[in-house]
Structure 1
């Protein structure tokens, strides 16, 4: 484990930075407890001359904790359940997944 991996572990273990979640595979029903960092940026979509603003939910998860997320898998955080939509994206260093979620 590199120093950078260890630092990421400390960030994801910090309760002020990340929350506990459960990942549930859509194909095998496998469950795994993970930690995620939530982001909810507004997304701007242009349609002709109109600009549409929409809420989004994106979470970051460590690749070491969640090796193979797929569209359709569930992420449950507390009482909220979300479905992964679109292809998960890894960061440049291949350490963090960014998962685009929609409410289930």
Structure 2
């Protein structure tokens, strides 16, 4: 049954309307590894006492089969933009996808 889910995930990431090409640089160095990602751009609200600020963040889903060891501080290059992973990526229940939060550098 997990093969059916893995095939569905692969199809989503391969779809040119959903997934896109990127380069993952573990530790932010080296030539990097070509990966497929799915981006989400939800802004986050942070509260500081009586004030609130909108923090521009980007959510990046990446297949664990391509980036099993992705972690905080790694870089993702999408086109001409570079993003740094903040916090530890969260895995899905089947261990197929890591959901990462990133900021533009």
> When you count helix as a share of all residues, which structure comes out higher?
2
2:17 corresponds to 1:13:
no
Partners of 1:69 and 1:76 in 2: CA distance: 14
Partners of 1:46 and 1:92 in 2: CA distance: 30
List runs of 5+ in structure 1 lacking aligned partners: none
The Cα shift of 1:51 comes to 2.3
Aligned counterpart, 1:56: 57
2:93 corresponds to 1:89:
no
The Cα shift of 1:81 comes to 0.9
Aligned counterpart, 1:99: 100
Deviations 1:5-43 (A, max 9, x none): 001101100000011001011277362110100111011
User: Contact (CA 8 Å) 2:47, 2:53: kept in 1 or not?
Assistant: yes
2:81 corresponds to 1:77:
no
What is the CA RMSD across the aligned residues, in angstroms? 1.7
Q: Secondary structure at the match of 1:88?
A: strand
Partners of 2:34 and 2:83 in 1: CA distance: 15
Q: TM-score, normalised by structure 1?
A: 0.90
Q: Secondary structure at the match of 1:10?
A: helix
The Cα shift of 1:50 comes to 2.2
Q: TM-score, normalised by structure 2?
A: 0.89
